[in-house]
């Protein structure tokens, strides 16, 4: 019996000890929540190049002076998904008073004709925003029938993936010289420069090689002051240049 009594007393002591530590933890949590030490002093945005930090903070809904532990990071991340230009957002707390929002933006790749002008899309075909005057380095993709959705949604259109793949594989130095990328009914790719030169690439194969050769040929011919009607790179190893009669 004495052994049983000691066992019961020990269990009662352990229970009281557990309750005590729970109360201490709750008290500490209450102090943390109420303490001005853990009020948000700043929201730091990292990784943005196109999006203004002010817009990201506004949509995130995180306010200075708010207790850092009351912020639901998952809910903030979900709210940020409404921004079409934002691909992903990673949030973290930097104690005692900073919230870090590290974002990955969608990069504009090309323009698609639409009833409202042009639609700016990224490499995944996501509609980012209407075409802007600053989009001069983005080529227009033609020859496709596309359904333009609301911003933030992927554009639907047969052959669009091929067209975006072509743009994505072309040398970056060549893109500012292009005005249009046309995809024919048979899948043939034809580029047009700002000077109106037609550049026939044939099928959408070996695009990086064809792009490098095209860039070199255009540079050499421009240096010579030659006017070109078209350049045929259907066979990457033997480009054909047709000079303009004018």
**Alpha-carbon span 19 to 98, nearest angstrom:** 33
pLDDT at 19: 78
- Residue 41 lies in domain: 36-105
Same domain, 91 and 150: no
Burial class (CB in 10 A: 0-12, 13-18, 19+), 128: buried
Of the ranges 132-146, 173-187, 232-246, the best mean pLDDT one: 173-187
Looking at the structure, do residues 223 and 137 belong to the same domain, yes or no? Answer: yes
Which residues 6+ apart lie within 8 Å of 112 measured at CB? 118, 119, 121, 140, 141, 144, 146, 148, 155, 157, 160
Residue 244, pLDDT score: 77
143 and 212 inside one domain: yes
Q: Quick one: average pLDDT of 116-136?
A: 87
Question: In terms of domains, do 178 and 200 share one?
Answer: yes
CB–CB of 125/160 below 8 Å? Answer: yes
In terms of domains, do 95 and 159 share one?
no
Its pTM stands at: 0.78
Same domain? For 93 and 121 the reply is no
Domain boundary among 65, 88, 105: 105
CATH value at residue 205:
3.40.50.10960
The pLDDT assigned to 223 comes to 78
Would you say residue 160 has pLDDT above 80?
A: yes
Which of 175-200 are b and which e, b meaning 16 or more Cβ less than 10 Å from the residue's Cβ?
A: bebbebbbbeeeeebbbbbeeebbbb
- Least-confidence region, from 112-116, 117-121, 211-215: 112-116
CA distance 183 to 216: 23
Of 55, 72, 105, the last residue of a domain is 105
Short-list 227, 173, 167, CA closest to 197: 227
Please tell me whether residues 128 and 171 are part of one structural domain. Answer: yes
DSSP code for 143? S
Using pLDDT thresholds of 50, 70 and 90, give the confidence band for residue 212: very high
Token digits of residue 238: 């033997």
Claim to verify: residue 28 and residue 47 sit in the same structural domain: no
Note whether 120 and 69 are same-domain residues: no
At residue 15, the pLDDT reads 67
**pLDDT at residue 95, as a whole number:** 87
């Amino acid at each position: 019996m004495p052994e049983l009594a000691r066992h019961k007393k020990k269990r009662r002591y352990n229970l009281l000890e557990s309750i005590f530590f729970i109360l201490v933890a709750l008290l500490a949590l209450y102090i943390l929540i109420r303490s001005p030490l853990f009020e948000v002093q700043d929201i730091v945005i990292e990784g943005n190049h196109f999006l203004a930090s002010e817009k990201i903070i506004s949509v995130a809904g995180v306010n200075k002076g708010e207790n850092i532990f009351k912020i639901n990071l998952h809910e903030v991340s979900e709210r940020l998904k409404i921004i079409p230009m934002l691909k992903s957002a990673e949030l973290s707390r930097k104690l005692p008073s900073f919230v870090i929002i590290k974002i990955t933006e969608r990069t504009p790749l090309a323009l698609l004709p639409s009833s409202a002008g042009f639609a700016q899309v990224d490499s995944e075909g996501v509609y980012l925003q209407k075409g802007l005057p600053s989009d001069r380095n983005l080529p227009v993709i033609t020859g496709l029938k596309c359904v333009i959705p609301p911003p933030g949604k992927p554009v639907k259109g047969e052959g669009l993936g091929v067209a975006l793949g072509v743009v994505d594989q072309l040398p970056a130095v060549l893109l500012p010289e292009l005005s249009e990328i046309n995809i024919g009914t048979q899948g043939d790719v034809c580029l047009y420069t700002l000077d109106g030169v037609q550049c026939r690439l044939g099928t959408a194969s070996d695009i990086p090689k064809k792009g490098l050769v095209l860039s070199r040929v255009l540079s050499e011919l421009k240096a010579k002051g030659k006017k070109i009607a078209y350049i045929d790179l259907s066979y990457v190893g033997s480009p054909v240049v047709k000079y303009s009669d004018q």
